[in-house]
Amino acid sequence: MDKALQTMINNMPEKTGKKLEEWIQILNKKNFEKHSLAVKYLKTEHGLTHGFANTIVTLSKDKNESPEDLIANQYNGKESLKPIYEMLITTVKDYGDDIIITPKKASVSLIRKKQFALIKPVTKSRIDLGLKLKGIEIQGCLEGSGPFGTMCTHRIQLKNVSDINSDVLKWLSLAYERSE
């Protein structure tokens, strides 16, 4: 399990008043159809931050799959994209130890106090890097959010490790900085 995710789970009782297993029991009683509704419930009814709420909901759905399994499944048949993912994760980990890497079934969320990026292998030949960059104009490699909708304000399409150039790194770093 990712070190930051394990730290978050370990800190959950102190920060939220309940252990992960207790939160999962609460969610299982409600049986939400959508991820976003469960997150909203934990935030509004229980006062959790988005990071804790999102992580709890994700882990409640993926309790039989480890984060490593979720990532392996995302890149099954898309192995050529895995080095792009690994380079993005290595880059982000260098920003600081305050990042929570949350694998889901189809993507990986990068969260500081709130989500600032999303990594999603969308085809066998492309990863979309979603970023939260409110107020930034579309320019260069920075496109509209596309399939990410409101989860991200922008996306960058990556087909090769070489696509992770100085512009991509600048936008990723800015998204991280703005997520304080």
Confidence check: pLDDT of 65 > 70? no
- The pLDDT, as a whole number, for residue 124 is 95
Q: Residue 56 in contact with residue 11, Cβ under 8 Å?
A: no
If you average pLDDT over residues 115-143, what whole number do you get?
95
Do both 8 and 58 map to the same domain?
yes
User: Which residue among 64, 80, 109 closes a domain?
Assistant: 64
Do both 100 and 142 map to the same domain?
yes
Task: Quote the domain boundaries for residue 27.
Answer: 3-64
Do both 12 and 39 map to the same domain?
yes
Do both 39 and 111 map to the same domain?
no
pLDDT tens digit sequence for 7-54: 889 999 999 999 998 998 898 888 787 889 999 999 999 999 999 998
- The pLDDT, as a whole number, for residue 114 is 86
Do both 77 and 164 map to the same domain?
yes
User: Which residue among 21, 43, 64 closes a domain?
Assistant: 64
Do both 133 and 155 map to the same domain?
yes
- The pLDDT, as a whole number, for residue 62 is 58
Nearest Cα neighbor of 30 from 17, 40, 18 is 40
User: Which residue among 39, 64, 89 closes a domain?
Assistant: 64
pTM of the model: 0.69
Do both 23 and 83 map to the same domain?
no
Q: Read out DSSP for 119-176?
A: EEEEETTEEEEEE--TTPPPBTTBEE-GGGGGG-SEEEEESSGGG--HHHHHHHHHHH
Please report which helix (H) or strand (E) contains residue 3, including its range. Answer: helix 3-16
Do both 46 and 84 map to the same domain?
no
Q: How many structural domains comprise the chain?
A: 2
